[in-house]
Amino acid sequence: MAQFPTTRLRRMRQHDWTRRLMRETTLTPSDLIWTLVVSDRANPREPVASMPGVDRLSPAAAADAARQARALGIPAIALFPHIDPALKNAAGSEAGNPDGLVAQAIKAMKDAAPEVGIICDVALDPFTDHGHDGLMEDGVILNDATVERLCDQALMQARAGCDVIAPSDMMDGRVGEIRAALDSEGFEHVLILSYAAKYASAFYGPYRDAIGSSAALKGDKKTYQMDPANTDEALREVELDIAEGADMVMVKPGLPYLDIVARVKTAFALPTYVFQVSGEYAMIEAAAANGWIDGERAMLESLMAFRRAGADGVLTYFAPRAAKILNG
Ligand code: PBG
């Protein structure tokens, strides 16, 4: 490359039109997946204290959100349930209830806007009284017994009309078992988005408030979620999930893990998503509320950063707000 003063990189930054011409990365509503919390208590919506701007929605309000997603050009919604504490138990048996909140919400949303993809989390934590993603015995998570329950949960979701099954539990072997269970009931067309590289993160705090599992959670999730210090392990997780039949993979959390997103996308070249989790949302909102950062710019910059790192899409609580801006 020629040196200064022949080369001046600022020449290309002079105008909006030159900046637009050399822009490498795009961000559109098609890159967003709207993460949405539903609750049977919400009437029709109730705020989440630690996530200003995010409400828990009733199934009817979630159906309205699905119509809104369609109008905004958001391709899919990822659903997370806040369950009545009275329905929680050690086995998380409400997770497989065909008449429960999740099934109701899926049906209401698919009726309202069938063109919008519905993604459901597979994990027991919203439904267990101990707040863990799996079954426990003497304080130990039972991997294989949990996977059986996860298959039941996934089948319930598929029967209710869910388009994408998204295991977020981090049990070993669950993607392959869920794929087999879905296929055995004729759900070959149902996709699997695996939370392949999911870290034991402090950034999930507000989410656990949103779904009401934080009060319940005993201990931590370090025996199943990954150590934030590791990257090779993330590649092994992703490789196994692909071998077991994952159509898409996810990295979670988002901004602190952009190196993982880049490495996964480069290594496997398959549809790769990233979850901008509740704590990341809350940090931007809290700083913006204090006037310490420009919240709108920080939101769009973070979303663009995910795309630049290689993500095909971003799961984010900002989805409707960002889509409105991106649509002009
Ligand atoms: C649990 C689950 C979590 C999130 C999605 N599914 C939290 C956890 O593992 O405790 C986090 C989402 C967020 O923080 O926005 N299966």
Q: Is 177 in the pocket of ligand 1 (CB under 6 A)?
A: no
Q: Is 303 in the pocket of ligand 1 (CB under 6 A)?
A: no
pLDDT given for residue 220 in this prediction: 94
In a domain, 13, yes or no: no
Token pair listed for 139: 């304080």
In a domain, 155, yes or no: yes
Measured CA to CA, the distance from residue 228 to residue 231 in angstroms comes to: 8
pLDDT given for residue 217 in this prediction: 86
pLDDT given for residue 218 in this prediction: 83
Catalytic, 198? Answer yes
pLDDT given for residue 43 in this prediction: 87
pLDDT given for residue 184 in this prediction: 98
Whole-structure pTM value: 0.97
In a domain, 8, yes or no: no
pLDDT given for residue 212 in this prediction: 84
Cis amide bond preceding 5, omega within 30: yes
Per-residue pLDDT tens for 115-172? 999 999 999 999 999 999 999 999 999 999 999 999 999 999 999 999 999 999 999 9
In a domain, 1, yes or no: no
Domain region containing 124: 25-326
pLDDT given for residue 46 in this prediction: 95
Rounded to the nearest 5°, which phi and psi values hold at 222?
-70, -15
Out of 110, 198, 221, 265, which one is annotated catalytic? 198
In a domain, 14, yes or no: no
Overall domain count for the chain: 1
Which residues, in sequence order, are bridge partners of residue 128?
Answer: 89
Q: Could you list the residues known to form a binding site for Mg(2+), using ranges.
A: 237
CATH (domain of 71): 3.20.20.70
Cis amide bond preceding 320, omega within 30: no
In a domain, 5, yes or no: no
Catalytic, 110? Answer no
In a domain, 10, yes or no: no
How far is the CA of 180 from the CAs of 120, 183, 188, in angstroms? 18, 5, 9
Per-residue pLDDT tens for 173-183? 999 999 999 99
Burial tier of 233 (Cβ tally within 10 Å: 0-12, 13-18, 19+)? middle
ipTM above 0.90, yes or no: yes
Average pLDDT per 10 consecutive residues for the chain, totaling 328 residues: 95 98 98 97 92 97 98 98 96 98 98 98 96 96 98 98 98 98 98 98 94 83 98 98 98 98 98 98 98 98 98 98 97
How far, in Å, is the centroid of ligand 1 from the Cα of 19?
Answer: 37
pLDDT given for residue 32 in this prediction: 99
CA-closest residue to ligand 1 atom 6: 168
- Answer yes or no: are the C-beta atoms of 84 and 129 closer than 8 Å: no
In a domain, 232, yes or no: yes
The contacts of residue 85 (CB under 8 Å, 6+ apart) are: 129, 212, 216
Distance of CA 148 to the CA centre of its chain: 22
How far, in Å, is the centroid of ligand 1 from the Cα of 1?
Answer: 46
pLDDT given for residue 151 in this prediction: 98
pLDDT given for residue 31 in this prediction: 98
* Three-state secondary structure of 133-156: CCCEECCEECHHHHHHHHHHHHHH
